[in-house]
Amino acid sequence: MSYRIFGTIQPTLIVDMDSRHGMFSDAGGMSWMSATVEMNTGLNSGGGGGLLSGLARMVGGGTLFLVQFTTRSEGQIAFATDFPGKIVPLDLAAGESIIMHKHAFLAAEAGVTLAVTFTRRFGAGLVGGDGFVLQSVTGPGMAFAELDGDAIEYHLSAGEILLVEPGHVAMFDQSVTFDVQMVKGLRNIIFSGEALFFARLSGPGRVWLNSMSASKVAHRIGEYLPKGS
C-alpha cells in the first residue's frame, strides 16, 4: 500500500488505492476521495466487529458505524486530522496491537481490527475520566494515528515507569502496563493545578505522547467565550 503524509501543521494522509487494498475509518473520518472509490458503511467494516463491538465503540467515544472504502480499479482517498498535530503510521504484524486514546485513531487498512480496550484494572478507567478511554488496533496491516501537537516517542525498558497527565497519553504498545496513580501530597492535590490522577505507564514497550491536550485547549478557549448573564 502506497501512502503520503502532506502538511506539517495540520497534516493529511493520502492513500493510493487499488483493488487489493481497502481502507476504513470512523464515520465522518474521510476528507476527500476519487470518484472510483466506493463507500460501505456498517457495524463490522474493516474488522470492527458486530453490534456489540459498535456499541462498545460508542461508549468509548467512537462511532457506532465504521466506513469501508474500496475500489475496483485505482483511486485516492484522504484523511485529515481534526487538530494541528502529527500523523503516525503503524505497520502492524499479525496479532500485534497498539493501545490508543479514543480520539487517536485516524484510519487503517482492511484487515486491521479496531476494538475498545478495557484496562487491566477497572479502577483505571473508572477514576481516570475522559483521558483514560482506550481502544486497540490489531494487525496485520497499516494503521494511522493522529496525535495533537507534536508526537514524542519513548522506549521504556522493563520496569521503567512514566507518569503522564492523562490528556497527553496518545498510545502505547500492548506490552506496556497501564494504570492510574493519584497525585501525592495534599498541597500538590489542591494547589498544583495538575490532574488528580496521573496515567502510570510501565515498560517494556513504546509509548507515544502528544504535546497538545485537546481538553486543555478547550478549557483555555472557554476562558475567552462570553459568559451567560
Rounded distance between C-alpha atoms, residue 146 and residue 22, angstroms: 19
pLDDT digit of tens for each residue in the chain (229 aa)? 799 999 989 999 999 999 998 999 988 899 999 999 999 998 655 555 554 454 555 555 555 589 999 999 999 999 999 989 999 999 999 999 999 988 899 999 999 999 887 655 545 544 444 445 688 999 999 999 999 999 999 999 999 999 998 889 999 999 999 988 877 656 555 555 565 678 899 999 999 999 988 777 777 788 888 876 5
CB 24 within 8 A of CB 66: yes
Domains of the chain: 2-44+53-223 (3.60.160.10)
> Going along 111-187, which residue ranges are E strands?
113-117, 134-138, 141-148, 151-156, 161-164, 169-173, 177-182
CB 13 within 8 A of CB 88: no
Q: What is the pTM of this model?
A: 0.83
| Residue 214 pLDDT | 75
| Residue 127 pLDDT | 44
| Residue 126 pLDDT | 46
| Residue 159 pLDDT | 95
